[in-house]
Structure 1
């Protein structure tokens, strides 16, 4: 009798495992179908971008080259919007599959990306809709931790405080600027091309508003301090504050939910995050410029 019971339990285990595998395979197929329209648009954009890059590489006329670069930037914005549209579809899909690990994975990969930056409340709503088994799984607990850092670093939240030594071994504390200055934290690295391409316009902003109470704290993700220091000298950006995550053994990037560079955070005099920009691009530049202009003209 015991042998029969054991065989029955083994049969139930394998049967349930096979059903689960079939369910997940079906869900994977549903996701592929769900993404077909946005994938088609994404592939089309990649093709157009590739063609423009080829033209830029051989173009001699600087005016035409700049026009092509702007076209490339416009396409990048279209791609971002397409990705956001796909994310919205994924939110609905995940809500309709609350017991699926694959559905959790579907939204978890987006939580720290640019396209998910303005959807904190939706991420929380969808995550809370998952079953306890999914939320308490290893990946579920990872998602919960990501949401914690997302919340404390989003626009409207008090900026996480930090203390560190700068490039000149002077102590810097975010709290020391409270009530005195607006702070732009610029997460970057010497090896990051887009980060360095943005430095000329960042220097212009600093030159324009520094006397009115604007300060920049650049936080590098460099793992080579010599390259970091050489980049600062070469770009002539010694005027503002510089911090190395490595040299300070700091968790500032984790506290501000930084998953890639460039990444900028604007903090007001009350220590509240009032702006956040992931990645580069003309829209981000214009948005930051517009916000600073509004702040300092109003004052």
Structure 2
């Protein structure tokens, strides 16, 4: 009799696992179907981008070339908006499937990217709607931790404090500037092409606003200090402060929820995050410039 009970127990366990796996497979198929329209749009935009890139490479006329570059920007904006539209669909889907790990993975995918940057409250709402089993799973605990770092580094939050050695081994603390300076933190690396492409623009901002109270702290993710230091010298950006995550054995990138570079954070004199930009592009440049203009013109 005991053997029979054990057999039924194992059979029941196997059956429930099989049913769960079947359900998850069904949900994953539904997700693929859900994403089909936005993936078609994304693929068409990428195709257009490649065509414009090819035209830029052979174009000699500077006026036409600039128009093509603007066209690239508009296509990138369209791609971003399409990704945001897909994320909104994902939120609705995840709310309807609170017992699914596939739904949770759907939420985790964009939580640290540009796409999800302005949706903290929605992420929290959807996450709280998951069943206790999903929230307490390993994936659920990871998501909970991500939301913690997301919250402490979003616009409106008090910027996480740090005290780190700079390139000259001088200790730099965020609190040193409180009440006196606006801080632009620029997460970058010598190997990051988009990061280095933006340096002339950042130099212009520094030249214009440093006398009015702007300080820049560049924080590198370089794993080779010699390449980092050579890049600073080559780009002629010694004017502002430089910190290495590696040399400090720091987790500042985690504290500021940095999942990719370039990544910029603007902090006001009260230590509050007032701006955050993930990735490069003309839109981010324009938004940062307009915010700095409003800040220093107001003062």
Over residues 71-117 of structure 1, what are the superposed CA-to-partner deviations in whole Å (9 max), with x where a residue is unaligned?
11111110000000000000010011001000000011111000100
Deviation sequence 1:107-134 (CA, Å, 0-9, x none): 1111100010000000000001001110
Structure-2 residue corresponding to 1:110: 110
SS in 2 for 1:109: helix
Aligned length: 299
Does 1:134 pair with 2:148? no
Q: For 1:81 and 1:167, locate their aligned partners in 2 and report how far apart those are by CA, in whole Å.
A: 39
Give 2:31's aligned residue. Answer: 31
Q: Which residue of 1 aligns with 2:214?
A: 214
- Structure 1: distance between partners of 2:134 and 2:184: 38
- Paired with 2:5 and 2:62, the residues of 1 have a C-alpha distance of 80
The residue that corresponds to 1:169 in the other structure is 169
- Residue 44 of structure 2 is aligned to residue 44 of structure 1: yes
Counterpart CA distance in 2 for 1:46 and 1:138 is 35
Superposed CA RMSD: 0.8
Where 2:110 maps in the other structure, the secondary structure is coil
Tell whether 2:233 aligns with 1:233: yes
Structure 1 residue 59: deviation in Å? 2.1
Cα separation, 2, equivalents of 1:247 and 1:26: 47
- Structure-1 residue corresponding to 2:296: 296
Match of 1:276 in 2: 276
Rounded to whole Å, the distance in 2 between the matches of 1:283 and 1:30 is 34
